[in-house]
Each structure stands twice: as structure tokens, then as C-alpha cells.
């Protein structure tokens, strides 16, 4: 990963900005939300690869920063929400798209379905993902 970042830095013009935008593993909340209320049904279970990938990416960015190739200008964490119209839509998406890094345990699915059954008509299911965005400046 460091080699790839070094190559990126090689082709960037001086004083160019590089944006690092990525989700961070961390047991994201699974919720049923409506205009009136929000109920947390549980949390996503991270597979080993998620936290390991985060650690590797952080280490690579720190190494490139320590080598003087990039200067960290600003860093923020912010929530990003995935929304679905129903628990079954969410389950299909998670089962199809997230098999490599996260899963939702059966007890959480039971909670989602139970909260969904008693929720307001405008309720949707969602997962709140923690996102990291960092603005890097290529060193002169």
C-alpha cells in the first residue's frame, strides 16, 4: 500500500490535494428510523479484515506522511447513512455486498423486523457508517 501511495505522490503536481475518503470498521449501528423516533436494533459485526484493513491504511498514510511526501491538512469523521425501505431490502444488500467485511447477526435481524413491525409508516431501516475524510497536500 505504501508503494502505491508513493507512486500517487510521484505523479501528483506540487501543492496538489489528495483526498482520503473511506469507511472505518467499528460495529456500525443498525437502526429503524422514522420522523418521530429512532430505535437501535443492534450493531454490525466486523469481520477480521475490516479493522485489519483500517490499520494497514492508517499505517501506510502515516509512513508516507513521516517520509515527507504528504502533509495532513485537515481530518474529520462524519456519519454516512445507508437507507433501505424494508428489512428484507437491507438483508439482500448486506448479504450480497458486504460479505467480505461485515455481517449482521440473527438476533439483530430479529430486532430489526420487530421494530419495523411496530414503526410508523414512514420508517426506514438504516446503518450508520463512520466515514473518515482527510485532506492531504503533496509536499513541495
Mean pLDDT per segment of 10 residues, for the chain of length 140 residues? 85 90 93 96 88 88 91 96 96 91 93 95 96 92
Angstrom distance (rounded) from CA 119 to CA 87: 12
Total number of domains in the chain = 1
pLDDT of residue 52: 83
Per-residue pLDDT tens for 36-74? 999 999 999 988 777 888 889 989 999 999 999 999 999
pLDDT of residue 47: 84
Angstrom distance (rounded) from CA 139 to CA 70: 5
Please give the model's pTM, rounded to 2 decimal places. Answer: 0.84
pLDDT of residue 46: 87
Domain that holds residue 39: 2-138
Amino acid at each position: 500500500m505504501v508503494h502505491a501511495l508513493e507512486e500517487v505522490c510521484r505523479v501528483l503536481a506540487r501543492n496538489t490535494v489528495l483526498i482520503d475518503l473511506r469507511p472505518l470498521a467499528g460495529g456500525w449501528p443498525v437502526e429503524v428510523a422514522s420522523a418521530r423516533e429512532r430505535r437501535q436494533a443492534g450493531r454490525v459485526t466486523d469481520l477480521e479484515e475490516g479493522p485489519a484493513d483500517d490499520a494497514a491504511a492508517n499505517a501506510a498514510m502515516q509512513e508516507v506522511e513521516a517520509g515527507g511526501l504528504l502533509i495532513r491538512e485537515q481530518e474529520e469523521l462524519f456519519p454516512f447513512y445507508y437507507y433501505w425501505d424494508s428489512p428484507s431490502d437491507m438483508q439482500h444488500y448486506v448479504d450480497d455486498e458486504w460479505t467480505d467485511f461485515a455481517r449482521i447477526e440473527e438476533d439483530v435481524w430479529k430486532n430489526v423486523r420487530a421494530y419495523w413491525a411496530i414503526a410508523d409508516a414512514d420508517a426506514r431501516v438504516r446503518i450508520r457508517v463512520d466515514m473518515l475524510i482527510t485532506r492531504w497536500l503533496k509536499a513541495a
